[in-house]
Amino acid sequence: MAWLSQLVFLAFVLVSFSVHAAGTDPLPSWHDGKLKKSIIDFVSEVTQKQSSRFVPPEDRIATFDNDGTLWSEVPTIEVEFTKNRLQEALKKNPALKKQEPYVSLLKGVPVTQLTQKQILEIFSLTHAGMSEEEFSREVREFFKTALHPKLQVPYTQAVYQPMLELLAYLRANEFTLFISSGGEISFMREVATTIYGVPSQNIIGSYFVDKLEERNGRLVAVRTSALALVNDKENKPIGILRHIGRRPIFSVGNERNGGDIAHLRFSRESTLPNFQIMINHDDEAREAAYSEKDNASLAAAKKFGFKVLSIKNDWKQVFPSQKSIAKDF
Amino acid sequence: MAWLSQLVFLAFVLVSFSVHAAGTDPLPSWHDGKLKKSIIDFVSEVTQKQSSRFVPPEDRIATFDNDGTLWSEVPTIEVEFTKNRLQEALKKNPALKKQEPYVSLLKGVPVTQLTQKQILEIFSLTHAGMSEEEFSREVREFFKTALHPKLQVPYTQAVYQPMLELLAYLRANEFTLFISSGGEISFMREVATTIYGVPSQNIIGSYFVDKLEERNGRLVAVRTSALALVNDKENKPIGILRHIGRRPIFSVGNERNGGDIAHLRFSRESTLPNFQIMINHDDEAREAAYSEKDNASLAAAKKFGFKVLSIKNDWKQVFPSQKSIAKDF
């Protein structure tokens, strides 16, 4: 993945550079409008020492959801990884094909029709029972060859160009950036540094209970099949507080299943000046249009005062390569 | 605590400054000798690009135990906090005085003679059942007035001067510093930034299960009485890996109950160049002399190749103020 890392790193440097260059637009892929202006106004206010809303750098904590916020969740990349791992597992152990829930899955029964227990069983089969180091290797292998089905690029390029610019802009203004996602923590850590410039210690996610074992005379952490934390919904503020020790003042999430409502509210209810964005996936032409049956995330945005980002109206460009993943791609 | 913060900050700046000034000794409170030389040699090797043992800055992860490693554990400061909180609890709820384990405690029965369950009950009574924000306030109140019984200074000054220098030296060489302690995470976070310059997100510790609740229309994290992780012994590498995602290449702990053996071994068994220090509390004259019945920590140092630090022989000065906590103080 060396060439890929270099390419992404170059893009990252170019983005950072544009932020530092005097007078240039820090968010070139964003349409000029209310939202872009309010982001820049907020960042200016909290970074100017003479401002009544000044926030010292150590409190400039920003948290970002990952799936559907920093990179595309159509399809959800970790689900694709899980499918890939499942195929490998069935190849290695064909007897599984005769057992549930694999019989149903192979018949084409969608995952949504499985029980919670069955889903967890698949998750454990594909994510646990190995050392952390072995799992990391599997993740790296997956990203080496897997391609996004519509973009036909590695999944690491299914990121949102405007969000890369926002990350660089906040970083240049001395924000400390964290990713807090429902995704599995070690899965995200393998790619987050390269694609977002966020170090592994700034990734918060769901995780399995690890057990320390001596293998070949060496202490290694082994992933058990017990999930310790599902870092979603009400658990997200808990995961954030445990990891960071403070409320974020800048938080971004997206609508799909209400997973970021508590996350953004936790930031909104900070005693410091703060800013939240709820992303609305409303761009059928360039990305995807999906919404919640109960409209909970957008209703919460209205109720609590989160800004709503419309991909259709707020972003000039969605992906770094000018490609789109929509039907008409 | 404003004057205290300023004082400590000033000391911190002075220490940092001395590190940056060309030709000056980065570790002035350390006796010249084998250990000091090996620290400086290691840092030089891993930071020089042309060295075969070069480690890029993002992998320069250092972890420090806290009690008995960065600050004194004679007495253990969190135990003093617990006693203080217990007195408050008994004042507010005198009926407790007629119940176990408080009857025994008030009779002078030492904590070591209580059952594990009873100790946990005291820990929960004094540390849980309140919001994280309320707990933080209690901790800040404690540090405002409490004095170290022998040094007669605030506990925040019961830190080891040579360790402040080591932290500053590593930081100046682009190491990222973490504290990984058996102490409760929120307790440490209230003071670690001020005294060590380590931000709250770089503190790893034991913690209670938190529950998200709405109080006065605001989401807050409330501490339940269930301990989620005791970040000691075999759990320390697990806590470190979960939080950082990588093995540390520089780790420091101390002998007392074998709490840092797995911690240092986890670093020692990194695939990158690495360095570990096990502190031996052997200075009866200036600090305290204590050891383990089974000698496990020092035996592990020999077996796995950790350096042993003798407070008596390796440190010119123990505390910032030239005071000592030993019997003849």
Phi first, then psi, for residue A123 (nearest 5°) are -60, -45
Query: Average pLDDT for residues A248-272, to the nearest whole number?
Result: 98
Interface check B59 vs A, CB under 8 A: no
Interface check B239 vs A, CB under 8 A: no
Burial class of residue B131 (count of CB atoms within 10 Å of its CB; 0-12, 13-18, 19+): middle
3-state SS, residue A274: coil
Query: Average pLDDT for residues B241-262, to the nearest whole number?
Result: 97
Are B125 and B236 contained in the same domain? no
Residue A118 lies in a domain: no
Least confident of A199-213, A258-272, B102-116, B188-202: B102-116
Q: How many CB pairs under 8 A join A and B?
A: 80
Give pLDDT, residue A72. Answer: 96
Interface check A189 vs B, CB under 8 A: yes
Residues 6 or more apart whose Cβ sits within 8 Å of residue B29: B161, B162, B165, B315, B316, B317
pLDDT above 90 as % of chain A:
82
Are B97 and B242 contained in the same domain? no
Question: Distances from the Cα of B59 to the Cαs of A4, A244, B273, in angstroms?
Answer: 21, 20, 10
Interface check B58 vs A, CB under 8 A: yes
Distance from CA of B244 to the nearest CA of A (A): 4
Which of B179, B238, B251 has the most A C-beta neighbours within 10 Å, making it the best mutation to test the interface with A? B238
What is the count of structural domains for chain A? 1
Residues 6 or more apart whose Cβ sits within 8 Å of residue B141: none
B 74-103 residues with CB below 8 A of A? none
Q: Number of C-alpha atoms within 13 angstroms, CB side, residue A60?
A: 22
Give pLDDT, residue A196. Answer: 97
Distance from CA of A202 to the nearest CA of B (A): 8
Are B182 and B99 contained in the same domain? no
Phi first, then psi, for residue A298 (nearest 5°) are -75, -35
Query: Per-residue confidence at A108, pLDDT binned at 50, 70, 90?
Result: confident
**DSSP conformational letter for A155:** G
Interface check A199 vs B, CB under 8 A: yes
pLDDT above 90 as % of chain B:
82
Are B85 and B64 contained in the same domain? no
Query: Which of A136, A131, A127, A137 is closest to A219 using CA atoms?
Result: A131
Query: Which of A204, A202, A306 is closest to A261 using CA atoms?
Result: A306
Give pLDDT, residue B11. Answer: 53
Interface check B210 vs A, CB under 8 A: yes
Are B69 and B85 contained in the same domain? no
Shortest CA distance from A223: residue in chain B: B238
Instruction: Give the one of B189, B212, B269 whose C-beta lies nearest to A219's C-beta.
Output: B269
Residue A33 lies in a domain: yes
Distance from CA of A314 to the nearest CA of B (A): 30
pLDDT digits (tens, 9 = 90+) for A283-312: 999 999 999 999 999 999 999 999 999 999
Q: Do B221 and A241 touch (CB under 8 A)?
A: yes
Give pLDDT, residue A22. Answer: 54
Are B255 and B109 contained in the same domain? no
Q: Do A265 and B189 touch (CB under 8 A)?
A: no
Give pLDDT, residue B19. Answer: 47
Q: Do B185 and A244 touch (CB under 8 A)?
A: no
pLDDT above 70 as % of chain A:
92
Interface check A230 vs B, CB under 8 A: no
Distance from CA of A161 to the nearest CA of B (A): 24
Confirm if A117 and A125 have CB atoms less than 8 A apart.
Answer: no
Question: Looking at beta carbons, which residues of chain A come within 8 Å of B219?
Answer: 237, 262, 265-266, 269
Give pLDDT, residue B18. Answer: 43
Res B176 pLDDT > 60: yes
**Which of B113, B145, B177 is the last residue in one of the domains?**
B145
Which of A219, A220, A238, A249 has the most B C-beta neighbours within 10 Å, making it the best mutation to test the interface with B? A219
Residue A300 lies in a domain: yes
Q: Do B243 and A201 touch (CB under 8 A)?
A: yes
Please name the residue ranges forming H helices in chain A.
2-20, 34-47, 77-92, 102-106, 116-127, 132-145, 161-172, 185-196, 235-244, 261-268, 296-304, 311-314
* Mean pLDDT, chain B, integer: 92
Give pLDDT, residue A325. Answer: 75
Instruction: Give the one of B200, B212, B266 whose C-beta lies nearest to A245's C-beta.
Output: B200
Query: Per-residue confidence at A19, pLDDT binned at 50, 70, 90?
Result: very low
Give pLDDT, residue B158. Answer: 96
Q: Do A238 and B246 touch (CB under 8 A)?
A: no
Instruction: Give the one of A202, A219, A243 whose C-beta lies nearest to B237's C-beta.
Output: A219
Confirm if B291 and B322 have CB atoms less than 8 A apart.
Answer: no
Task: State the pTM of this model.
Answer: 0.91
Q: What is the DSSP string of A48-87?
A: -TTSTT---GGG-EEEE--BTTTB-BTTBHHHHHHHHHHH
Residue A99 lies in a domain: no
Beta strand spans in chain B (E): 61-64, 176-184, 203-215, 218-229, 250-254, 275-280, 307-310
**Which of B119, B145, B171 is the last residue in one of the domains?**
B145
Shortest CA distance from A197: residue in chain B: B58
Q: Do B185 and A242 touch (CB under 8 A)?
A: yes
Gap between the Cα atoms of B133 and B141, Å rounded = 13
Confirm if A216 and A194 have CB atoms less than 8 A apart.
Answer: no
Q: Do B265 and A219 touch (CB under 8 A)?
A: yes
Give pLDDT, residue A328. Answer: 47
Query: Per-residue confidence at B106, pLDDT binned at 50, 70, 90?
Result: confident
Which of B132, B135, B219 has the most A C-beta neighbours within 10 Å, making it the best mutation to test the interface with A? B219
Res A206 pLDDT > 90: yes
Question: Looking at beta carbons, which residues of chain A come within 8 Å of B221?
Answer: 237-238, 241
Res B111 pLDDT > 70: yes
Query: Per-residue confidence at A109, pLDDT binned at 50, 70, 90?
Result: confident
Which of the pair, A215 or B13, is modelled with greater confidence? A215
Q: What is the DSSP string of B247-264?
A: --SEEEEE-SSSTTHHHH
3-state SS, residue A253: strand
Least confident of A77-81, A178-182, B110-114, B294-298: B110-114
Are B180 and B59 contained in the same domain? yes
Give pLDDT, residue A327. Answer: 55
Are B226 and B194 contained in the same domain? yes
* Mean pLDDT, chain A, integer: 91
Give pLDDT, residue A6. Answer: 55
Question: Looking at beta carbons, which residues of chain B come within 8 Å of A132?
Answer: 241
Query: Per-residue confidence at A70, pLDDT binned at 50, 70, 90?
Result: very high
Query: Per-residue confidence at A110, pLDDT binned at 50, 70, 90?
Result: confident
Residue A102 lies in a domain: no
Interface check B266 vs A, CB under 8 A: yes
Are B119 and B259 contained in the same domain? no
Residue A294 lies in a domain: yes
Distance from CA of B234 to the nearest CA of A (A): 7
Which of B135, B137, B212, B222 has the most A C-beta neighbours within 10 Å, making it the best mutation to test the interface with A? B212
Q: Do B245 and A203 touch (CB under 8 A)?
A: yes
Query: Which ipTM score applies to this complex?
Result: 0.90
Are B181 and B64 contained in the same domain? yes
Distance from CA of B153 to the nearest CA of A (A): 27
Gap between the Cα atoms of B37 and B21, Å rounded = 19
Give pLDDT, residue A10. Answer: 52
pLDDT digits (tens, 9 = 90+) for A134-154: 999 999 999 999 999 989 999
| B94's tokens | 């005198």
Confirm if A88 and A139 have CB atoms less than 8 A apart.
Answer: no
Query: Per-residue confidence at B290, pLDDT binned at 50, 70, 90?
Result: very high
Query: Per-residue confidence at A239, pLDDT binned at 50, 70, 90?
Result: very high
pLDDT digits (tens, 9 = 90+) for B29-71: 999 999 999 999 999 999 999 999 999 999 999 999 999 999 9
CATH code at position B66: 3.40.50.1000
Are B140 and B160 contained in the same domain? no
Domain containing B135 equals 78-145
Are B141 and B160 contained in the same domain? no
**Angle (nearest 5°) at CA B143 between B138 and B148:** 135
Residue B122 lies in a domain: yes
Interface check B189 vs A, CB under 8 A: yes
Residue A233 lies in a domain: yes
Give pLDDT, residue A107. Answer: 86
Q: Do A241 and B201 touch (CB under 8 A)?
A: no
Query: Per-residue confidence at B6, pLDDT binned at 50, 70, 90?
Result: low
Confirm if A186 and A207 have CB atoms less than 8 A apart.
Answer: yes
Q: Do B210 and A234 touch (CB under 8 A)?
A: no
